[in-house]
């Protein structure tokens, strides 16, 4: 959909649609809003999706607008936020772009790439997008009601806080979405950050009377300590707000759920002393890092020590250094050059560290990145790290597809490990001379293809690929890690417990549902929903 100022059809359509709604049967719905960002809305929505699934309902998640650099490609090639993919997995259904019709991927502090129903509509300044968000009401409404016709329950997630009074007129994701969906709202506050009572009461005070009526209950998240000490505060909260406290969810660390955005990577920035019998892996924390969920499976391997190298931190002495995906490859490459990381990378390579680049990180490994259409930057070109004999041209068309691939025949790996993954990139990388590809893509959009992907350079010391999710497959993951072990002089290692990402996710969703079910008054929530 093209965003055009002052589209009169939007207002006419919306009024007619609300009238038609009264004669149509739709799914029951519940909306989770929060007192701010990072209070746990996404995880609670995932938990409710799992609970409703366990209780026998056909349930789907929905978030009108998501701002995140972590994205996913659907079976049909549409791009959407990973948070809604996680929620769809918890619900046991295939993710579709209707679950997240608008995705905003920041490219700078004041600009972003806007993706509508899975397709890029362009790069926009924050000011331009803010002024024309109301033109997208039809898009989010269509997507929501499509889900509402197909499912018995839709769990809606808000964004940030509904009390941002400066955004109220252009809101399409919080109370405006609750109005469109005619949904009751549960308001979540994070007690671990402190000031949760003021946060909840203050949020309610800044809502209009009609908006406050939509809030049917309060939830306190991330509580640590003795619940009896909290009880007087809960009583006061109910008396002061006139809203029921529907539960207190404890702070938990032992449940593995994919994170929504890079802010949560703070937990991964820790110091460690690598053990000689283990592989040390470091990942560069780029300013525009994206799709860092690629590396979650590595954290589960018994013989891996993993850390993220944050801004200003020096690269250590890793066996493998990973340059991850980026939403702004040119600016992030300039960051590596301007902050001394380029010299550190080259120094580590000379000392034996292996280098892996994924997507934007792969593009950085070449000799040059060209941006003739200024898709990412005002720069027309930038010199790469020069570790692979290749150059990349950023083009207008974006490739988004799920793929199947296998390792290309090479002298470094004996296996032809098969993988499933997905591509999200605008650049096309051209290999020079006799560079060995890393993978061969055999399937795109469920159709057979024969496409070379990635590259192996510097005598098996540098690897690059466009494919996200390569470590999800335990066979390839172990082959790659054992290659690193071999070059380190360690024997191959085969854990007795094979880490199946799919099986592990299922167990974690059940664990999450169990703790949230025990923490919330689900009978009241069902009653609020009219069930």
Residues that are catalytic = 359, 468
| Three-class SS state of 124 | strand
- List the structure tokens of 247: 């539960």
Residue 119 φ then ψ, to 5°: -120, 140
- State the virtual CA torsion across 284, 286, 290, 294 in degrees, nearest 10: 0
- List the structure tokens of 302: 């018994």
| Three-class SS state of 126 | helix
Least Cα distance to 214 among 174, 247, 249 occurs for 174
Distance, CA of 263 to CA of 292 (rounded, Å): 11
239-261 as b/e: b if 16+ CB within 10 A: eebebbbbbbbeeeeebbbbbbb
Number of other CB atoms surrounding residue 503 within 10 Å? 10
Distance, CA of 2 to CA of 9 (rounded, Å): 13
Q: How many CA atoms lie within 13 A of 514 on its CB side?
A: 9
Distance, CA of 87 to CA of 64 (rounded, Å): 14
Helix axes 341-350, 329-338, angle to 10 degrees: 80
- CA-CA distances (angstroms) from residue 475 to 15, 88, 209, 414? 54, 26, 57, 12
Distance, CA of 488 to CA of 157 (rounded, Å): 47
């Amino acid at each position: 959909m093209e965003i055009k100022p002052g589209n009169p059809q939007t207002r006419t359509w919306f009024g007619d649609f609300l009238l038609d709604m009264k004669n149509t049967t739709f799914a029951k719905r519940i909306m989770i809003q929060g007192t701010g960002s990072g209070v746990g809305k996404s995880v609670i929505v995932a938990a409710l999706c799992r609970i409703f699934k366990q209780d026998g309902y056909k349930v789907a998640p929905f978030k009108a607008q998501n701002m995140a650099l972590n994205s996913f490609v659907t079976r049909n090639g549409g791009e959407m936020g990973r948070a809604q993919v996680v929620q769809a997995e918890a619900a046991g259904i295939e993710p579709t772009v209707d679950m997240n019709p608008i995705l905003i991927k920041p490219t700078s502090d004041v600009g972003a790439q806007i993706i509508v129903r899975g397709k890029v509509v362009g790069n926009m300044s924050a000011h331009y997008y803010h002024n024309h968000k109301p033109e997208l009401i039809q898009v989010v409404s269509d997507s929501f009601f499509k889900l509402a016709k197909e499912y018995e329950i839709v769990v809606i997630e808000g964004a940030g806080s509904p009390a941002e009074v400066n955004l109220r007129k252009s809101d399409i994701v919080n109370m405006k979405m609750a109005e469109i969906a005619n949904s009751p709202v549960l308001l979540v506050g994070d007690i671990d950050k402190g000031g949760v009572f003021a946060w909840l009461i203050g949020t309610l005070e800044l809502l209009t009377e009609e908006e406050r009526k939509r809030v049917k209950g309060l939830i306190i998240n991330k509580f640590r300590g003795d619940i009896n000490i909290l009880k007087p505060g809960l009583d006061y909260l109910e008396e002061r707000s006139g809203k029921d406290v529907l539960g207190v969810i404890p702070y938990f660390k032992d449940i593995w759920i994919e994170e929504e955005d890079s802010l949560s990577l703070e937990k991964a920035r820790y110091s460690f002393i690598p053990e000689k019998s283990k592989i040390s892996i470091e990942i560069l924390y780029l300013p525009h890092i994206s799709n860092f969920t690629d590396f979650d499976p590595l954290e589960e391997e018994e013989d891996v020590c993993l850390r993220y190298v944050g801004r200003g931190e020096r690269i250590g002495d890793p066996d493998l250094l990973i340059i991850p995906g980026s939403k702004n490859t040119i600016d992030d490459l300039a960051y590596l050059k301007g902050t001394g990381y380029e010299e550190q990378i080259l120094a580590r390579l000379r000392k034996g560290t292996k280098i892996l680049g994924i997507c934007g990180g792969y593009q950085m490994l070449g000799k040059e990145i060209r941006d003739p259409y200024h898709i990412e930057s005002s720069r027309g070109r930038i010199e790469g790290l020069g570790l692979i004999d290749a150059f990349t041209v950023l083009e207008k068309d974006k490739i988004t597809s799920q793929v199947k691939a296998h390792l290309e025949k090479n002298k470094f790996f004996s296996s032809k490990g098969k993988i499933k993954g997905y591509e999200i990139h605008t650049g096309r990388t051209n290999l020079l001379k006799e560079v060995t590809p890393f993978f061969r893509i055999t399937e795109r959009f469920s159709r057979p293809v024969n496409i070379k992907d990635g590259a192996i350079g510097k005598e098996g010391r540098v690897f690059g690929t466009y494919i996200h999710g390569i470590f999800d497959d335990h066979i390839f993951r172990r082959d790659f890690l054992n290659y690193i072990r071999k070059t380190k002089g360690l024997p191959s290692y085969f854990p007795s417990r094979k880490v199946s990402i799919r099986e592990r996710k299922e167990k974690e969703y059940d664990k999450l549902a169990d703790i949230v079910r025990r923490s919330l008054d689900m009978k009241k929530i069902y009653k609020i929903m009219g069930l």
